[in-house]
């Protein structure tokens, strides 16, 4: 589970005086309050409290005088506790304000302010020099009380920075930029960490990808949301990944509300979730699917002339849409995640929709006609990439793109390399040339054993990095890391925690060992982002997923700082 947020009280000042309405008063704990005290705590979803369990509070050195109630008649309507937490590194007394609760029936009566102010004053009068409280990011009424009282957020991670900015914005307060921060988050935000990593600059904070996570409980547990398929699903996904520790997102997805194993765009899951319960219209006839290689040949032959596409292509409009999406995502994440997007290319795997046998047979039987399919995709991709290059330059976006084709089995390409050299790679190289002209790095998604086509990908297409390695095929991180770009530079590498072995079947210690291996192999020299090799399926233990992120942060920071 994610850690709670921490707030600090400026101990050189006392909290403001709180006026209570007639009938309300503040007092400390008395013998006989136990049952009503437990009932009050149970009303605020703070766990299951019994009279016996109250001893965990009442045995504190500052109890019972440090337990403050607001009463209304004979009723206890609010409580806050001043608790001793020993000494800090300066040998100063540390106190915590804890177990704050209020009866919602008395909302708007300043009862929360009154009990918290009383507990803070009690600690100050006893000479406590450090006073803090812990809370959750979704408890907005309590958070508003703490801020009004004078508590300030402490930032112990990028997720804190993101959450607190959202909290202050929602509550209508100005976010204090001079908050107390942990040393390692004082300067680079997540966006800067990822950008500098991709640039292969020296950075002591790890770059961690958002991963391709198809497990609903991952998002639910990190955001405390049971229903993640609402209108604000994009923000739920962003919050979950920031809380996990991610700072780079090349593909924005979440599990489908209909089939958890399938990826879906968070901007559309709410509508999909609603449609799940609606009767489906099956009256419209579906287009007839190809039943032979000849059907595929005829479909391709009927495509428009690829080299007439440019005439009607609106590069400016495409560039604006591309930039608008990325800038919106970066803003949504409060610049704690760097978002990049895809690029245009002829899609080899796009033909799989015609049926593997039909498609691959057509490539073999009718290569001259089928080349038009790749020429069409290549020219369309080139025009799109001209728009991408324009958007990157005009708006100062990160000069990196990501996508790829699933063109390999475990033993190599689905078709002969000669066929790929003739039909596919020339048009792929044609498509990405505008990216090279603009200095935009290409990170290629890799499935299967890509070793037989590494030369083409690096030297013909000019990719500058790879993501996802099926190491069981011999395509290991160590092997890929031994390659260089066609300009003899270190490759960008994203990986390589296995979604087929380590994550679903390994122990927490196995995950930690693999995280450490990845950093040691790929991070020296920059350009490394820790990631899963592909989609993390719902069967994967949640603790293994969380461990990948948490140990990635902790070990990554330690290892990068030692380089």
Q: Would you list the DSSP string of 91-137?
A: S-EEEEEEEEEE-GGGTTSSHHHHHHHHHHHHHHHTT-SEEEEEE-T
| Structural domain containing residue 405 | 289-467
Q: For residue 79, is it within any domain?
A: yes
For the entire predicted model, the pTM comes to 0.85
Cis omega (within 30 of 0) for bond into 171? no
For the segment 429-453, the average pLDDT, to the nearest whole number, is 96
Count of domains forming the chain: 2
Asked if pLDDT for residue 286 goes beyond 70, the answer is: no
Q: pLDDT value at position 281?
A: 53
How far CA 146 is from CA of 6, 16, 106, in Å, comes to 11, 12, 18
Domain shared by 179 and 300, yes or no:
no
Asked if pLDDT for residue 455 goes beyond 80, the answer is: yes
Domain shared by 181 and 299, yes or no:
no
Are the C-beta atoms of 434 and 386 separated by less than 8 Å? yes
Q: Where residue 173 sits, what CATH number does that domain have?
A: 3.40.630.30
Q: For residue 311, is it within any domain?
A: yes
How far CA 194 is from CA of 38, 202, 399, in Å, comes to 47, 11, 12
Asked if pLDDT for residue 285 goes beyond 80, the answer is: no
Q: Which of residues 467, 497, 520 is at a domain's end? A: 467
Strands lying side by side in the sheet with 465-467: 207-208, 528-532, 492-497, 465-467, 441-445, 400-404
Rounded to whole angstroms, how far apart are CA atoms 463 and 440?
10
Domain shared by 296 and 418, yes or no:
yes
Each residue's pLDDT tens digit, 476-529:
999 999 999 999 999 999 989 999 999 999 999 999 999 999 999 999 999 999
Q: Which residue has the tokens 């849409």?
A: 321
Summarize the chain as % helix, strand, coil (round to 5): 45, 15, 40
pLDDT-based confidence at residue 402 (cuts at 50, 70, 90): very high
For the segment 364-368, the average pLDDT, to the nearest whole number, is 96
Q: For residue 540, is it within any domain?
A: no
Domain shared by 330 and 453, yes or no:
yes
pLDDT-based confidence at residue 468 (cuts at 50, 70, 90): confident
Strands, DSSP E only, in 446-548?
465-467, 492-497, 528-532, 535-536
Each residue's pLDDT tens digit, 207-224:
999 989 999 999 999 999
Each residue's pLDDT tens digit, 112-137:
999 999 999 999 999 999 999 999 98
CA angle 204, 206, 210 (to 5 degrees): 160
Q: For residue 523, is it within any domain?
A: no
Rounded to whole angstroms, how far apart are CA atoms 128 and 95?
6
Asked if pLDDT for residue 443 goes beyond 90, the answer is: yes
Backbone angles phi, psi at 84, to 5 degrees: -85, 135
Tokens of residue 83, six digits: 């608790």
Burial of 527 (0-12, 13-18, 19+ CB in 10 A): buried
Q: Which of residues 411, 446, 467 is at a domain's end? A: 467
Tokens of residue 360, six digits: 């691959």
Q: For residue 216, is it within any domain?
A: no
Cis omega (within 30 of 0) for bond into 204? no
Pairing between β-strand 5-9 and β-strand 412-413 as defined by DSSP bridges: unpaired
Domain shared by 329 and 449, yes or no:
yes
Rounded to whole angstroms, how far apart are CA atoms 259 and 262?
6
Are the C-beta atoms of 60 and 96 separated by less than 8 Å? no
Rounded to whole angstroms, how far apart are CA atoms 205 and 541?
26
Are the C-beta atoms of 339 and 333 separated by less than 8 Å? yes
| SS3 assignment for 245-294 | CCCEECCCCEECCCCCCCEECCCCHHHHHHHCCCCCCCCCCCCCCCCCHH
Taking alpha carbons only, the member of 363, 340, 357 closest to residue 422 is 363
Q: For residue 481, is it within any domain?
A: no
Q: Which of residues 140, 169, 185 is at a domain's end? A: 185
pLDDT-based confidence at residue 244 (cuts at 50, 70, 90): very high
Rounded to whole angstroms, how far apart are CA atoms 208 and 549?
7
Each residue's pLDDT tens digit, 24-54:
999 999 999 999 999 999 886 667 888 999 9
For the segment 336-357, the average pLDDT, to the nearest whole number, is 94
**Which letter, b or e, does each residue of 110-148 get, where b requires 16 or more Cβ atoms within 10 Å of its Cβ?**
bbbbbbbbbbbebbbeeebbbbbbebebebeebbbbbbb
Q: Which residue has the tokens 């031994």?
A: 482
Rounded to whole angstroms, how far apart are CA atoms 137 and 160?
9
Q: pLDDT value at position 182?
A: 61
Domain shared by 158 and 35, yes or no:
yes
How far CA 560 is from CA of 57, 67, 528, in Å, comes to 42, 46, 11
Are the C-beta atoms of 494 and 211 separated by less than 8 Å? no
Q: For residue 483, is it within any domain?
A: no
Backbone angles phi, psi at 133, to 5 degrees: -145, 160
Q: For residue 482, is it within any domain?
A: no
Burial of 395 (0-12, 13-18, 19+ CB in 10 A): middle
Asked if pLDDT for residue 100 goes beyond 90, the answer is: yes
């Amino acid at each position: 589970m994610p850690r709670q947020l921490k707030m600090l009280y400026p101990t050189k000042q006392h909290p403001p005086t709180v006026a209570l309405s007639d009938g309300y008063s503040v007092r400390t704990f008395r013998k006989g309050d136990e049952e009503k005290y437990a009932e009050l705590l149970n009303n605020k979803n703070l766990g299951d409290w019994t009279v016996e369990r109250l001893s965990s509070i009442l045995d504190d050195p500052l109890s019972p005088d440090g337990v403050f109630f607001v009463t209304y008649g004979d009723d206890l309507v609010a409580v806050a506790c001043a608790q001793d937490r020993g000494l800090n590194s300066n040998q100063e007394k540390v106190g915590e304000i804890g177990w704050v609760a209020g009866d919602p029936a008395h909302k708007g009566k300043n009862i929360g302010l009154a009990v918290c102010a009383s507990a803070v004053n009690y600690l100050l009068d006893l000479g406590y020099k450090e006073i803090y409280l812990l809370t959750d990011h979704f408890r907005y009424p309590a958070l508003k009380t703490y801020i009004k009282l004078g508590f300030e957020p402490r930032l112990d991670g990028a997720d804190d920075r993101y959450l607190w900015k959202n909290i202050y914005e929602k509550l209508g307060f100005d976010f204090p930029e001079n908050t107390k921060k942990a040393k390692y988050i004082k300067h680079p935000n997540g966006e800067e960490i990822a950008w500098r990593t991709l640039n292969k600059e020296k950075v002591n904070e790890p770059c961690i990808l958002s991963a391709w996570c198809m497990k609903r409980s991952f998002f639910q547990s990190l955001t405390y949301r049971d229903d993640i398929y609402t209108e604000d699903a994009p923000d739920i996904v962003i919050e979950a990944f920031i809380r996990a520790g991610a700072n780079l997102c090349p593909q924005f997805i979440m599990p489908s509300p209909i089939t958890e194993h399938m990826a879906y765009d968070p901007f559309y899951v709410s509508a999909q979730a609603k449609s799940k319960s609606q009767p489906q219209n099956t009256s419209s006839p579906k287009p007839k699917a190809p039943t032979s290689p000849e059907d595929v040949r005829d479909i391709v032959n009927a495509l428009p002339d690829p080299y007439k596409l440019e005439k009607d292509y609106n590069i400016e409009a495409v560039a604006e849409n591309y930039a608008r999406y990325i800038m919106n995502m970066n803003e949504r994440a409060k610049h704690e995640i760097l978002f990049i997007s895809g690029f245009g290319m002829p899609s080899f795997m796009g033909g799989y929709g015609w049926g593997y046998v039909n498609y691959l047979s057509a490539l073999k039987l009718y290569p001259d006609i089928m080349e038009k399919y790749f020429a069409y995709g290549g020219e369309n991709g080139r025009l799109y990439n001209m728009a991408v290059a324009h958007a990157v330059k005009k708006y100062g976006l990160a000069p990196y793109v990501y996508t790829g084709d699933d063109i390999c089995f475990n033993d190599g390409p689905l078709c002969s390399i000669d066929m790929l050299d003739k039909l596919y790679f020339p048009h792929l190289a044609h498509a990405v040339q505008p990216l090279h002209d603009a200095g935009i790095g290409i990170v290629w998604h890799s499935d299967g054993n890509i070793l037989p086509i590494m030369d083409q990908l690096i030297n013909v297409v000019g990719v500058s990095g790879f993501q996802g390695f099926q190491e069981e095929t011999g395509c290991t991180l160590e092997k890929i890391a031994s390659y260089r770009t066609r300009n003899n530079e270190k490759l960008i590498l994203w990986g390589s925690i296995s979604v087929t072995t380590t994550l679903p079947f390994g122990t927490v210690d196995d995950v930690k060992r693999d995280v450490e291996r990845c950093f040691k192999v790929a991070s020296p020299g920059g350009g490394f982002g820790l990631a899963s090799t592909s989609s993390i399926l719902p069967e994967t233990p949640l603790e293994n997923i969380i461990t990948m992120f948490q140990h990635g942060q902790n070990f990554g920071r330690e290892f990068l700082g030692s380089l």
